[in-house]
């Protein structure tokens, strides 16, 4: 098969002009465009040449345009860049070839590097691009990921190691079915090969991973190895021409669907799992048809999810696909999944990824559709998802495909440590009366009025990302879902705090019971709420913390308060009085004496309150204090005033 490449050269300027007789003798220059392939770690921005005075850079970007003075390089120009084979340009090429494409010093072979398998041995073989590379000595090191034994052979042209097993990689088995796999649990290891060619030190980064990332949704890419919890899985039905089958992989089962379409798997008990398989580039993006998700699609186009690649274009280094393309564009680099990296490699002339307003328009249409976190990035490349994806899309696992990549992206890791993550772990909290604040589906149904998505029995999602973040638009910055201030309470200007207050606020009949926001905004007679004006609202203490001093994104998603900051920021020299125990104890005693239920320490009244239990103004006041385990910190004066007012006289 031959590929007919069309000339992609743009900047071949032949700059020949007649000289006026009175002008001094011109300096003859020729233009030479130096390019490098997308892959290969060729550092074109460090392009050098000899003789040094024979050329100068006219334009630099994805390509470098040189103005060459032939007279200063009678023997030709030797071009060199880190990562590339040296190239002697003798000027013998025809005029149509005033374009040099540097060849990477080494290619890499090693199989399906993006999904080699948990605990799998791997062998990376460097393929020299020139004689100089063939003679070079290469050294290897692991720059990130798990600690592994790495051995080199054949003068460093071969590296061998073994990937971490599933347990060591942190892969958690789901209750059933497809395993979600995040950057953290995919067992990725970054290796660096170093060598020197003609005095130019070079490095090449190679990433190997045990598994491709997966959201756990039953909408997956062709060629992606799926990891199934449990044993006994088999393919019951597959598309025509498909041949993929389930293979045992330790305590897991694995399947590589090799054709688009619907697959049905069954486990040992006969329970069926239906998945749709597709390729991102082949999935119609007609989600916004008027009879479908018109409003959602329109709003989504302007969100940071959809524009992330557009906004970063020119600052991304496409030669680092795992970082640049893995989370700012659709698809998994390294897979033939129709994702951005795959299509990029399929196109004949790689785009230039330049800066400026025209850069986006200059991208080929197939790449624009995949540049950004588009529909299929989260919903999967199967055109029409399985009905079971309707609830599964609410899981944090979907966001974890990008946002669980510590130490840089800690959103999901932090959230998993918070009480939000386990808000519906207790089956009792999955009852209809509780789901409005204990589960994502119930919460969204409550605040949006949309029908509640039904979860399978035994499934808990917690209050996950989608409860607070609206990836499709209608948000108040940072994808924070825009909700109203609680009825009857103070108008809260901060959008994130309004979200917190939508559950952590004054009890309303049949509604949420937690009261932290009520306490924060309540005022004791003659006093000012001490924390009502904290910059950033709830997140001022429960959120980002020292985000300004860390590069981690998502820092603070554990919503924990770093109390040391209280003393350094506001309560300087006078640490706040901690009467947590005394205040709560007094409240519980008072509650009991007023006819309320006996409460164990840490148990909020709404978890124990019986139907028909007495309710008086005094009891309600005490409940407000008891419902907020941090009443002592949020607003101790107000809490004390509430208790004092409730005391029998």
Nearer to another protein, 177 or 257 (CB): 257
Q: Which of residues 19-58 bind another protein (CB under 8 A)?
A: 19, 23, 26-32, 58
Structure tokens at 424: 């519906």
From the list 35-43, 180-188, 277-285, 409-417, the region that binds another protein by CB under 8 A is: 277-285
Given a contact cutoff of 8 angstroms between Cβ atoms, the answer to whether 379 and 389 are in contact is yes
Q: Report phi then psi at 106, rounded to 5.
A: -140, 135
Residue 22 Cβ, how far from another protein at the closest point, in Å? 12
Structure tokens at 282: 């082949």
Q: Which of residues 607-636 bind another protein (CB under 8 A)?
A: none
Nearer to another protein, 99 or 207 (CB): 99
Nearer to another protein, 26 or 525 (CB): 26
Q: Which of residues 554-583 bind another protein (CB under 8 A)?
A: none
Q: Cβ contacts of residue 229 below 8 Å, gap of 6+? A: 173, 174, 175, 176, 177, 178, 179, 252
* SS3 at position 637: helix
Residue 114 Cβ, how far from another protein at the closest point, in Å? 21
Residue 91 Cβ, how far from another protein at the closest point, in Å? 4
Nearer to another protein, 244 or 371 (CB): 371
Residue 375 Cβ, how far from another protein at the closest point, in Å? 4
Q: Report phi then psi at 413, rounded to 5.
A: -60, -45
Q: For strands 30-35 and 99-101, give the pairing.
A: parallel
In this chain, which of 191, 300, 464, 516 binds another protein, going by CB under 8 A?
300
Nearer to another protein, 390 or 422 (CB): 390
Characterise 223 by phi-psi region: left (phi > 0), alpha (psi -120 to 50), beta (else). left
Q: Cβ contacts of residue 51 below 8 Å, gap of 6+? A: 72, 73, 77
The rounded distance, in Å, linking the Cα atoms of 152 and 162 is: 13
Q: Which of residues 344-403 bind another protein (CB under 8 A)?
A: 346-349, 351, 360-366, 368-372, 374-376, 383
In this chain, which of 247, 285, 428, 567 binds another protein, going by CB under 8 A?
285
In the block, tokens 């524009």 appear at: 307
Q: Which of residues 438-467 bind another protein (CB under 8 A)?
A: none
The rounded distance, in Å, linking the Cα atoms of 628 and 515 is: 5
In this chain, which of 22, 52, 94, 449 binds another protein, going by CB under 8 A?
94
Nearer to another protein, 291 or 601 (CB): 291
From the list 43-51, 183-191, 295-303, 554-562, the region that binds another protein by CB under 8 A is: 295-303
Nearer to another protein, 237 or 295 (CB): 295
Q: How many CB atoms lie within 10 A of CB 568?
A: 9
From the list 281-289, 430-438, 452-460, 504-512, the region that binds another protein by CB under 8 A is: 281-289
Q: Cβ contacts of residue 311 below 8 Å, gap of 6+? A: 304
Residue 36 Cβ, how far from another protein at the closest point, in Å? 17
From the list 96-104, 435-443, 513-521, 545-553, the region that binds another protein by CB under 8 A is: 96-104
What mask, x for binding another protein by CB under 8 A, covers residues 61 to 90? Answer: ----x--x-x-------------------x
Residue 399 Cβ, how far from another protein at the closest point, in Å? 16
Number of residues that bind another protein (CB under 8 A): 80
Structure tokens at 197: 């060619």
Residue 261 Cβ, how far from another protein at the closest point, in Å? 12
The rounded distance, in Å, linking the Cα atoms of 496 and 480 is: 7
In this chain, which of 21, 22, 52, 95 binds another protein, going by CB under 8 A?
95
Q: What string of DSSP letters covers 229-264? A: ESS--EEEE--TT----EEEETTEEEE---SSEEEE
What mask, x for binding another protein by CB under 8 A, covers residues 147 to 186? Answer: ----------------------------------------
* SS3 at position 100: strand
In this chain, which of 21, 22, 92, 131 binds another protein, going by CB under 8 A?
92
Residue 511 Cβ, how far from another protein at the closest point, in Å? 35
Nearer to another protein, 470 or 641 (CB): 470
Nearer to another protein, 68 or 226 (CB): 68
Given a contact cutoff of 8 angstroms between Cβ atoms, the answer to whether 321 and 341 are in contact is yes
Q: In residues, how long is the chain? A: 649
Residue 602 to residues 113, 517, 585, 628, Cα–Cα distance (Å): 49, 18, 10, 10
In this chain, which of 13, 113, 146, 256 binds another protein, going by CB under 8 A?
13
Distance in angstroms between the alpha carbons of the first and the last residue of the chain: 94
Structure tokens at 49: 């040449």
Q: What angle do CA 620, 625, 629 make, to 5 degrees?
A: 140
The rounded distance, in Å, linking the Cα atoms of 255 and 244 is: 7
Query: Long-range contact list for 412-416, CB < 8 A, 24+ apart?
Result: 412/182, 412/465, 412/554, 412/557, 413/184, 413/554, 413/557, 414/554, 414/555, 414/556, 414/557, 414/558, 414/559, 415/464, 415/465, 415/557, 415/558
Residue 603 Cβ, how far from another protein at the closest point, in Å? 45
Nearer to another protein, 92 or 487 (CB): 92
Structure tokens at 121: 């041995």
Applying CB under 8 A, does 2 fall inside the site for another protein?
Answer: yes
């Amino acid at each position: 098969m031959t590929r007919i490449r069309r000339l992609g050269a743009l900047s071949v300027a032949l700059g020949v002009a007649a000289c006026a007789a009175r002008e001094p003798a011109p300096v003859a220059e020729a233009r030479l465009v130096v390019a490098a392939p997308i892959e290969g770690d060729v550092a074109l921005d460090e392009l050098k040449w000899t003789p040094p005075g024979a050329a100068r850079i006219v334009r630099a970007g994805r390509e470098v345009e040189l103005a060459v003075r032939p007279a200063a390089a009678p023997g030709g120009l030797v071009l060199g860049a880190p990562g590339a084979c040296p190239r002697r340009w003798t000027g013998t090429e025809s005029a149509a070839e005033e374009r040099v494409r540097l060849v990477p010093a080494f290619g890499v072979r090693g199989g399906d590097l993006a999904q080699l398998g948990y605990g799998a041995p791997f062998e990376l073989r460097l393929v020299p691009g020139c004689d100089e590379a063939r003679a070079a000595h290469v050294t290897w090191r692991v720059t990130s990921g798990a600690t592994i034994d790495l051995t080199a052979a054949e003068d460093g042209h071969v590296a061998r190691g073994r990937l971490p097993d599933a347990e060591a990689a942190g892969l958690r088995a789901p209750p059933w079915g497809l395993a979600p796999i995040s950057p953290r649990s995919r067992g990725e290891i970054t290796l660096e090969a170093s060598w020197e060619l003609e005095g130019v030190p070079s490095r090449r980064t190679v990433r190997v991973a045990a598994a491709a990332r997966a959201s756990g949704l039953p909408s997956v890419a062709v060629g992606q190895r799926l990891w199934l919890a449990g044993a006994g899985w088999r393919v019951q039905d597959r598309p025509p021409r498909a041949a993929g089958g389930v293979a045992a992989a330790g305590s897991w089962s694995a399947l590589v669907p090799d054709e688009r379409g619907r697959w049905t798997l069954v486990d040992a008990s006969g329970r069926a799992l239906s998945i749709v398989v597709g390729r991102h580039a082949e999935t119609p993006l007609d989600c916004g048809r008027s009879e479908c998700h018109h409003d959602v699609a329109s709003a989504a186009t302007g969100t940071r999810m959809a524009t992330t690649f557009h906004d970063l274009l020119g600052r991304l280094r496409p030669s680092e696909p795992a970082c640049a393309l893995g989370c700012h564009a659709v698809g998994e680099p390294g897979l033939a999944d129709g994702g951005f990296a795959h299509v990029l490699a399929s196109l004949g002339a790689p785009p230039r990824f330049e800066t400026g307003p025209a850069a986006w328009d200059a991208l080929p249409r197939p790449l624009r559709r995949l540049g950004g976190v588009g529909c299929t990035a989260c919903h999967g490349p199967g055109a029409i998802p399985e009905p079971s994806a309707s609830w599964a899309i609410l899981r944090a696992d979907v966001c974890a495909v990008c946002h669980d990549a510590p130490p840089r992206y800690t959103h999901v890791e932090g959230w998993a440590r918070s009480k939000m993550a386990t808000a519906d772990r207790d089956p009792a909290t999955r009852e209809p009366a509780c789901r409005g604040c204990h589960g994502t589906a119930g919460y969204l149904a409550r605040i949006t009025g949309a029908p509640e998505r039904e979860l399978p029995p035994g499934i808990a999602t917690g209050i996950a990302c989608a409860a607070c973040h609206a990836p499709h638009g209608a948000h108040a910055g940072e994808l924070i879902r825009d909700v109203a201030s609680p009825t009857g309470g103070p108008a809260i200007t901060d959008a994130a705090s309004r979200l917190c207050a939508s559950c952590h606020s004054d009890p309303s009949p049949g509604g949420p019971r937690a009261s932290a926001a009520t306490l924060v905004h309540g005022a004791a007679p003659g006093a000012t709420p001490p924390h009502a004006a904290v910059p950033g609202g709830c997140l001022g203490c429960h959120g980002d913390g020292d985000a300004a001093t860390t590069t981690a994104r998502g820092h603070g998603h554990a919503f924990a308060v770093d109390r040391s900051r209280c003393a350094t920021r506001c309560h300087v020299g006078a640490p706040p009085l901690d009467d947590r125990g005394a205040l709560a104890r007094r409240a519980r005693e008072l509650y009991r004496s007023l006819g309320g239920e006996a409460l164990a320490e840490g148990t909020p009244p709404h978890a124990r309150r019986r139907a028909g239990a007495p309710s008086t103004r005094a009891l309600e006041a005490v409940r407000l204090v008891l419902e907020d385990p941090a009443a002592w910190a949020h607003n101790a004066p107000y809490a004390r005033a509430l208790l004092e007012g409730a005391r029998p006289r």
